[in-house]
Amino acid sequence: MRILVTGGAGFIGSHLVDRLLADHHQVAVLDNLSTGRKENLNPEAKFYPGDIRDKQVSSLMAEEKPEVLFHLAAQINVRKSTEDPIFDNEVNVSGSLNLIKAFLATGGKKIIFASTGGVMYGETDILPTPETVEPFPLCPYGIAKLSVEKYLNYFHRYFNLSFAALRFGNVYGPRQNAFSEAGVVAIFSARLLAGKPAIIFGDGQQTRDFVYIDDVIRACLLTLEQDPASFFNVGTGEETSVNEIFSQVARWIDKPCERQYAPAKEGDIRRSCLATEKIKKYLGWQAQVSLAEGIRKTVQWFKEQALSGKL
């Protein structure tokens, strides 16, 4: 298939591009490199430097004529979305609409959208949380992701667009940016390897659903084979505290590890965990990589980066 991946130089996107190329698809990447890295780019993919808000997106679509669009590019910083919700909306909503319209205009048939499970449901007592719980995101980032899901359903209903919205849990693994707001496994790995203490906001008892990158990529690929026209949680169904993440990462660091506690982040939800019965039923997917194994692989990758001077 001819496939376009937005955000294909990023953490999740670059892993996806590698796998799509290994499966002999024709792949193009659109990325403005604001958070993605050139070294993540697979040289076999055609690279278009650019922003999803650009008018030139129409020219790219006309040239590539992708059959499938994996839309992973986004403003991903939750804190920034609260500080500047207008910018977040411009990128995550208007930018997505710009892509969708250009994609449809050149005969595109299917969009797989990277949504969010971590903030989609807000504070809820129903854990693990199934897709039947009404979404109630408490930050502009989550609101924008939900808006795009609604737009995709609109384009499916009236323009025959096939789509899947994948509500990712807290994805972690090799290549994750250790110097951004998100990605606690990557952040802890980099700091502890550098001999710095891990900074834990709040008491560390807040929980998330941590899902390994390989499992996330399998979920993405399964959407190529089916036509669900729906949204799916992509997680493990298990809660893990930030304190436990520290302990798991520290286990694989070959030096003493310290932690420091800082004030909790404003608006940070207390617990998050995703039910996965729906994606298992309709797409045959479930997480396979255990947290212990995933963190071992992730820390090993960061060790190799540190030894080579790339960290």
Does the pLDDT at position 181 exceed 80?
no
How many CB atoms are located within 10 Å of the residue 145 CB?
26
Mean pLDDT over 38-62 rounds to: 96
| Partners of residue 129 on adjacent β-strands | 274
- Asked if 141 is an active-site residue, the reply is yes
Say if residue 212's pLDDT is above 80.
Answer: yes
Q: Does residue 71 surpass a pLDDT of 90? A: yes
Does the structure show a pLDDT above 90 at 228?
no
CB atoms within 10 A of CB 37: 14
- Average model confidence (pLDDT) for the chain? 96
Question: Which regions of the chain does DSSP assign to beta strands (E)?
Answer: 2-6, 26-31, 46-49, 68-71, 110-116, 162-168, 170-172, 198-201, 207-208, 210-212, 230-234, 240-241, 259-262
Strand order in the sheet with 162-168: 46-49, 26-31, 2-6, 68-71, 110-116, 162-168, 230-234
Q: Has residue 180 got a pLDDT over 80?
A: no
Q: Which residues pair with 111 in a beta bridge?
A: 69, 163
| pLDDT category of residue 79 using cuts at 50, 70 and 90 | confident
Average pLDDT over residues 129-139: 96
Q: Check: CB of residue 262 under 8 Å from CB of residue 117.
A: no
Give the residue-averaged pLDDT of 187-216: 97
Q: Coil, strand or helix: which one is 230? A: strand
Nearest alpha-carbon partner for 61 in 101, 25, 92: 101
Determine the average pLDDT of the residues in 203-211.
Answer: 97
Residue 182 scores a pLDDT above 80: no
Active-site annotation holder among 121, 141, 172, 212 = 141
d(CA 306, CA 311): 5
Domains of the chain: 2-171+210-234 (3.40.50.720), 176-208+238-307 (3.90.25.10)
pLDDT, residue 308, reads 87
- Whole-model pTM? 0.96
How many Å from the N-terminal Cα to the C-terminal Cα in the chain?
Answer: 35
Average pLDDT over residues 130-141: 96
